Structure 1
Amino acid sequence: MNTLQVSIVPNTPFVEYVREFDAPVAAVYRAYADPDLVEQWLGPNGYTTEIDHWHLRTGGSYRFAHIDPDGERYEFHGVFHEARPGDLIIQTFEFDGYPDVVSIEILRFEDLGDGRTRMVGHSTYPSQEARDGMAESGMEDGMAQGYDRLDGVLAALMATR
């Protein structure tokens, strides 16, 4: 099974993560680009994701909310600075609950051959404290759960080919 690997390096404002998928790069990128698919996998288990808008293109933007089982909303937004299909996404990421704490995320998609993809992410936070707050928020568990659901989305995509 593919598992999320997260590196939270002490004394740096960075989070790095790697996840492999049993699907080709084009399918993984599509699951990031199509808002209907993103709603199916993004976020922690038990939460609903509602996308206000999702324009994965260079200069595009997004806004979405995670809604917990009690109905509490956690809203996020950002800008896609660079979007190269099947290759790279550079975006900002901001949680409305912590305004003015904007991270920059770089996602690279690597073709491993045999219909497999490695996604490598690097997030830079404005301060060590901001990074530590995100790391302590349960970010890693939520990411891992979402990527596990993404496996199912990708399997369904591959089955309809």
Structure 2
Amino acid sequence: MFKQDVIVTLEEKIVRMERQFQAPLKLVWEVWTNPLHIEKWWGPKGFTNPTVEFDFKVGGSYRIVMRSPDGVDYPILGKFLEITPFESFVMTDLVDEHPEEWVKEVQKMAGVTGDRAMLNSKLRVLFEEIDGLTKVILITEFMNNQIRDGFANSGMKEGWSQSFEKLETDALPNANELIIEKKLAHSIESVFSAFADQININQWWGPDGFTTTTKSREFKVGGKWIYTMVGPDGTVYPNLIEYKEIVNYQYIEYIHGSGDPSKDDNFLVKIWFTSIQKNQTIIKMKMRFPNSEIRNMVVGFGAIEGAHQTLSRLNQYLR
């Protein structure tokens, strides 16, 4: 496992923390901004996140309920003030719903008294890619230096260090893999049926601006889907999918490539369908590439954005 210490420095009203991750920037950005990934790693070891609401847009709100091993909830909430894709975002960090005992303890460490609102802060998260590694910088701004020191002495470094370890081990995929997860506002039956549809899959398959044309398709184990995708610039991309396993309304597995044997560009795709409510389905797609270099190249070309756009098109199609 890639191990990195968290570097902490104190500046005027600010606690600054830095940590590197062994993954491309776009992949680290994904696990920081997708609530289905955030719930796996946010909070110290032993903490869970039963609630993760994350409307990631300027002016959007978030609320994360961290639950300690002994069952105490520590909700944090706020709004997104700035977002620069794949560079940084800024959000308020409000402790309005934190337990009163926690508030008193932090105020005691800071040597302050008064309304709990004085413990609210603003968090800026920055991302920098260096030689295939991604540095994440957290800049937390407090009301004054007293409160800054109270947080710094209350285990802030230890808590974030443990969160980052969980991010590395529980949220980031293996070096040759890419995992996309998305919640769709439709039943598992309708979502799975859209993947199985022999004809209408052309209406939503592919990133924004792409069109898909099927030459032939047999949705069955051993069956093949031969199709082309045309990008917004007119580039034609041949595709061949061969289905390896299908479990109705649960799972699909296939080999995906260009169909050109001279390119040796096949990769394995596994898709899980999970119903969480009557009209709520989580899709988890795991792509396994021959090595980390190919995975990183695919990420750099926009595979994460393309997968999310495809699933968003599916969401719209089902409406």
Given the two structures, how large is their TM-score scaled by the length of structure 1? Answer: 0.90
The within-5 A match list for 1:11-26 is 12-26=12-26
Q: Is the 8 A contact 1:23 1:158 kept in 2?
A: no
Q: Is the 8 A contact 1:35 1:51 kept in 2?
A: no
Q: Which has the higher Rg, Structure 1 or Structure 2?
A: 2
What is the CA deviation profile of residues 109-148 of structure 1, one whole-angstrom value per residue up to 9, with x for unaligned ones? 111132x111112111012222122112211111000101
Separation in 1, partners of 2:168, 2:52: 24
Structure 2 CA distance for aligned equivalents of residues 138 and 78 of structure 1: 21
- 1:6 counterpart residue number: 8
> Contact 2:38/2:52 (CA < 8 Å) preserved in 1?
no
User: 1:134 maps to what in 2?
Assistant: 151
Q: Deviations over 1:78-128 (max 9, x none)?
A: 1111122211111111123353132111111111132x1111121110122
Counterpart of 1:43 in 2: which secondary structure? Answer: coil
Q: Does 1:120 find its partner at 2:102?
A: no
1:149 counterpart letter in structure 2:
K
Q: 1:157 to 1:59 in 2, by over 3 A?
A: farther
SS in 2 for 1:8: strand
The answer as to 2:62 corresponding to 1:45 is: no
Aligned-partner residue type, residue 55 of structure 1: D
**Normalised by the size of structure 2, how large is the TM-score?**
0.47
- State the partner residue of 1:87: 87
Unaligned segments of structure 1, at least 5 residues: none
Stretches of structure 2 that go unaligned for 5 or more consecutive residues are 104-115, 179-286, 288-319
SS at match of 2:164: helix
Rate the CA distance shift 1:51–1:158 in 2: closer, same or farther, 3 A.
farther
Shift, 1:158, TM fit? 5.3
Conserved? CA contact 2:23–2:175, under 8 Å = no
Paired-residue identity, %? 28
Give the secondary structure class of the aligned counterpart of 1:148. helix
- 1:48-87 to structure 2, matched below 5 A, reads 48-87=48-87
Distance 1:95 1:20 in 2: 27
**Which segments of structure 1 move beyond 3 Å, counting only runs of 4 or more?**
none
Cα distance change, pair 14–33 in 1 and its aligned pair in 2 (3 A): same
Tell me if the contact between 1:16 and 1:123 (Cα under 8 Å) persists in the aligned partners: yes
Query: Which residue number corresponds to residue 28 of structure 2?
Result: 28
Equivalences, count: 158
The answer to whether the 8 Å contact 1:111/1:118 transfers is yes
- 1:63/1:77 contact within 8 Å kept: yes
Alignment of 1:155 with 2:173, yes or no, is yes
